[in-house]
Amino acid sequence: MATQNVFVYGSLMSRDVLTILLRRVPKMEDAKLRGYHRFRVRDRVYPAIYKHDDAFVQGKVLLEITDEERRILDEFEDSEYESHPITATVDSTGQEVPASVYVFKNRDPLHGEWDYSEFERDHLPKFMTMCQVFADGQSRRVPF
């Protein structure tokens, strides 16, 4: 079975969110993505990234994501994002790994800095409820 890596930088860094969506926590490594900046999205609790030459984004690389898990992530990220091939650098080893990342299509609603600890503290429980509703809809369409 073919697998792939996905660099995540927002709500998908949460083990709880991954458990709801994928029904497991994939192996993951802390990593950096150079050439992008993470922003708040106006009126949303999750972030987006956009190209920015002099910046980097701290996140995680999800390793060995299956095709079915990737399909779930693609649907979860919806049409506001598009997948781009990238190379991420694993913090612990310096190893560069190929991955994909979800990039926001529209720069207009992006502003300021997004903070994971603030998301976890102020928004994670409600966000997990939304994820569960999404996952329940997925389970009716595709057996896990």
- Known catalytic residues are 77
* 12 neighbors 18 (Cβ within 8 angstroms): yes
Q: How far apart are CA 87 and CA 71, in angstroms?
A: 20
Q: How far apart are CA 1 and CA 105, in angstroms?
A: 31
Q: Which two tokens stand for residue 64?
A: 């060995």
Which residue in 2, 25, 4 sits closest to 83, CA to CA? 4
Q: How far apart are CA 94 and CA 114, in angstroms?
A: 25
